[in-house]
């Protein structure tokens, strides 16, 4: 039985989305919401799910996307729900409140969410303090942790030097994490997506490359699902030229599919969830072809089942991430996705996730 759907969702759906999210984070951080309440007890992942990302071992390829834990408050709690890796953020150098509320809208009929948050967060130093405390606790206990934790980097809305913001964020936070993602694809900061253009992205990556070479921390870029074919080709070429460690595909979309039914579909912002699945997977598949499978890709957008995670992997994803589906299904979804993914891999004769990556291209 999905206790979240039976017990929590009837209450959650009557609270505005941002308030519900904030209360959830407080409960998770307090330790008063044990993982066993809404998910299966912790168990060892099926061996077929084991894989590697950035040269590091993962017990499974299912990750939590950026946006849930903006201020790095509960990364280990979320790993405890069964994620193989977690991405905190987006984090900007200076604290900023983001856009006016309301700014998060559920599209329940469409199993989707629209947000126009605007990189609201407590700033780089607040995240750094929590990540430093996490690292020190791990050192004291003699453990490395149960999964990878990455950071999503953003630029301040009022910044006169947005590439500089990413450089500041990477230099400060990357040493405290397992990987860093340069988010140039949020639709909620005016002009930010311009950094995906060929010249702008080339200049940004040129600024970051010396830091990456010195700090030796994996550097990825997160792109939009709304890129034209020419722009996607440029991203693929630059990712290879600068030897990026990965591409996250994709962020939310500004498109509004004709199939949307919710009255909230008219809200401005980035659309995530089920309606994004087809487009984000098509972008992922194109990126795998354009890069020849030489760069790890993380598939994001519309995943709510093991079959959809498997489709992303077959399209070219080395790992996947989800977030919006948790709003409707709760954290028990992670275990269900992993179980279904393991069955599908075994059904098709794959001994590991890595064997299935890009299978649709063969």
Of the pLDDT bands very low, low, confident and very high (cuts 50, 70, 90), residue 11 is: confident
Stretch 61-66: mean pLDDT, rounded? 98
- Comparing CA positions, the residue from 19, 52, 251 lying closest to residue 152 is 251
DSSP state of 268: -
Mean pLDDT (whole number) for 303-316:
98
- Residue burial 106-140, b: 16+ Cβ < 10 Å; e: rest: bbeebbbbbbbbbbbbbebebbbebbeebeeeeee
| Annotated binding-site residue? 128 | no
- Give 14's pLDDT tier (boundaries 50, 70, 90): confident
Q: What are phi and psi of 107, to 5 degrees?
A: -115, 80
CA torsion, ordered 130, 132, 137, 138, to nearest 10 deg: 120
pLDDT at residue 255 in the model: 98
Distance (Å, whole) CA 261 – CA 246: 35
Over residues 217-223, mean pLDDT: 98
Q: Does residue 359 have a pLDDT over 60? A: yes
Per-residue 3-state assignment (H helix, E strand, C coil) for 99-141: CCCCCEEEEHHHCEEEECCCCCECCHHHHHHHHHHHHHHHHHH
Residues 6+ positions from 273 with CB-CB distance below 8 Å = 107, 110, 111, 112, 113, 302, 304, 324, 325
273 marked ligand binding residue: yes
The reply to whether 269 sits in an annotated binding site is no
DSSP structure class, residue 359: G
Q: What is the pLDDT of residues 171-201, one digit of tens each?
A: 999 999 999 999 999 999 999 999 999 999 9
Percent of the chain with pLDDT over 90: 90
Lookup: tokens for 281? 């997977």
**pLDDT-based confidence at 23, cuts 50/70/90?**
very high
Q: What average pLDDT score do residues 233-252 get?
A: 98
Q: Which residue has the tokens 């179980």?
A: 339
Q: How far apart are CA 61 and CA 51, in angstroms?
A: 7
**Segments making up each domain of the chain, as ranges:** 3-361
Tell me if 54 sits within 8 A of 212, measured CB to CB. Answer: no
Residue of 35, 186, 265, 272 with catalytic role:
186
Q: Tell me whether residue 98 is annotated as binding.
A: no
Which range of 2-16, 134-148, 162-176 scores highest in mean pLDDT? It is 162-176
* pLDDT at 38 exceeding the cut of 70: no
How many degrees, rounded to 5, is the angle at CA 195 between CA 64 and CA 255? 65
Query: What's the whole-number mean pLDDT along residues 290-309?
Result: 98
- Out of 1.10.10.10, 3.20.20.70, 3.40.1180.10, 3.40.50.1370, which CATH number does the structure's domain 3-361 have? 3.20.20.70
* Least confident window among 30-44, 55-69, 101-115: 30-44
Dist CA 177 CA 88 (whole Å): 10
- Decide if 185 is catalytic: no
CA dihedral 48, 68, 206, 96 (to 10 degrees): -170
Helix or strand holding residue 305 (H, E): none
Q: For residue 213, is pLDDT > 80?
A: yes
pLDDT band at 294 (very low <50, low <70, confident <90, very high): very high
Determine whether the annotation assigns residue 165 to a binding site. Answer: no
- Return mean pLDDT, the chain: 95
Any known ligand binding at 118?
yes
Residue range 252-275: average pLDDT? Answer: 98
Q: Is the pLDDT of residue 250 over 60?
A: yes
Reported confidence tier of residue 111, pLDDT bands at 50, 70, 90: very high
How confident is the model at residue 36, as a pLDDT?
53
What is the pTM for the complete model shown?
0.96
The verdict on whether residue 40 carries a ligand-binding annotation is no
Is 116 known as a binding-site position?
A: yes
Q: Is 267:114 a contact under the CB 8 Å cutoff?
A: yes
Q: Give the pLDDT confidence of 119-134 residue by residue, as tens digits.
A: 999 999 999 999 999 9
Q: Is 47 exposed, middle or buried (0-12, 13-18, 19+ CB in 10 A)?
A: exposed
Which among 116, 41, 19 has a CA at the least distance from the CA of 331? Answer: 41
User: 360 a known binding residue?
Assistant: no
358 labeled binding residue: no
pLDDT band at 40 (very low <50, low <70, confident <90, very high): low
Question: 81 and 35 in contact (C-beta within 8 Å)?
Answer: yes
Cis peptide preceding 102, ω within 30 of 0:
yes
251 is in an annotated binding site: yes
pLDDT class of 5 with cuts at 50, 70, 90 = confident
67 is in an annotated binding site: yes
Q: How confident is the model at residue 41 (pLDDT cuts 50, 70, 90)?
A: very low
* Two tokens, residue 329: 């299904």
Burial (CB < 10 A; 0-12, 13-18, 19+), residue 353, is buried
Per-residue tokens: 90:
């987006």
């Amino acid at each position: 039985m999905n206790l979240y759907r039976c017990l929590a969702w009837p209450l959650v759906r009557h609270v505005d989305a941002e308030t519900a999210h904030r209360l959830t984070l407080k409960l998770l951080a307090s330790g008063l919401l044990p993982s066993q309440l809404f998910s299966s007890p912790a168990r060892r992942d099926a061996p077929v799910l084991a894989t590697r990302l950035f040269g590091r071992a993962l017990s499974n390829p299912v990750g939590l996307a950026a946006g849930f834990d903006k201020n790095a408050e509960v990364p280990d709690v979320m790993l405890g729900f069964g994620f193989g890796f977690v991405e905190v953020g987006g984090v900007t150098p200076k604290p900023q409140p983001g856009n006016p509320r309301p700014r998060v809208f559920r599209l329940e009929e469409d199993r989707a969410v629209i947000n126009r948050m605007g990189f609201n967060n407590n700033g780089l130093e607040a995240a750094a303090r929590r990540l430093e405390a996490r690292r020190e606790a791990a050192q004291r206990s003699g453990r490395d942790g149960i999964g990878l934790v990455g950071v999503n980097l953003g630029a301040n809305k009022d910044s006169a030097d947005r590439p500089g913001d990413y450089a500041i964020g990477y230099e400060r936070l990357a040493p405290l994490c397992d990987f860093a993602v340069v988010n140039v694809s949020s639709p909620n900061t005016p002009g930010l997506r311009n950094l995906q253009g060929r010249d702008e992205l080339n200049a940004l990556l040129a600024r970051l490359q010396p830091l990456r070479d010195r700090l030796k921390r994996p550097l990825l870029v997160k792109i939009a699902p709304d890129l034209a074919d020419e722009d996607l080709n440029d991203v693929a070429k630059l990712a290879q030229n600068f030897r990026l460690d990965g591409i996250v595909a994709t962020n939310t979309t500004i498109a509004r599919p004709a199939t949307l039914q919710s009255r909230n579909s008219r809200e401005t912002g980035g659309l995530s969830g089920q309606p994004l699945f087809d487009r984000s997977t098509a972008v992922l598949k194109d990126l795998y072809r354009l890069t020849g499978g030489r760069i790890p890709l993380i598939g994001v957008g519309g995943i709510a089942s093991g079959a959809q995670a498997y489709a992303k992997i077959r399209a070219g994803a080395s790992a996947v991430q989800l977030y919006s589906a948790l709003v409707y299904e709760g954290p028990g979804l992670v275990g269900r996705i992993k179980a279904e993914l393991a069955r599908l891999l075994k059904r098709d004769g794959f001994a590991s996730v890595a064997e299935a990556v890009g299978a649709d291209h063969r």
